[in-house]
Amino acid sequence: MDKTNSKILTLTFVSFAALMGFTLSTLLKVFSGAFGPIAKAMNYDLFRHGLPVAVGLSLFFYLQFNKKTLTWADEVIAEVKKVVWPPVKDTRGMTIIVIIMVIISSVIVSVFDMFSAFVLNQLMK
């Protein structure tokens, strides 16, 4: 594994661990409203702040120092580097086509919806 891949993987693992810590913190807040034991535990700063940080750090260290994970991630980066990305001009053109098609589709669905609502209203009168 080269130095660039190592930096990318470390940054990715830090980001993932922080996201999981934030997710756990949010879930604890949500579950404290529904479950009494979690609400009581949320009164303790060690549980409220320490548990998400501990889970995030342990997840980071597990990912960073697990040989299988590092090998897999290095292979993923090697495969992504082989991808031939389309030119910016093609990407811009296809994006414009997709936006136009979405607008056309929404107009068609809206017209059909208004027509069917009109017919149903006339039938109900």
Domain boundaries, the chain: 1-83, 85-125
The tens digit of pLDDT for each residue in 46-79 reads 898 999 999 999 999 999 999 999 899 988 988 9
The tens digit of pLDDT for each residue in 107-122 reads 999 999 999 999 999 9
**What is the model's pLDDT at position 74?**
87
Cβ neighbours, 10 Å, residue 21: 21
Indicate the residue type of 38: I
Confidence bin at 1 (pLDDT 50/70/90)? low
**Distance of CA 94 to CAs 16, 73, 108, Å?**
31, 31, 21
Burial class of residue 56 (count of CB atoms within 10 Å of its CB; 0-12, 13-18, 19+): buried
**What is the model's pLDDT at position 90?**
96
User: pTM for the complete prediction?
Assistant: 0.64
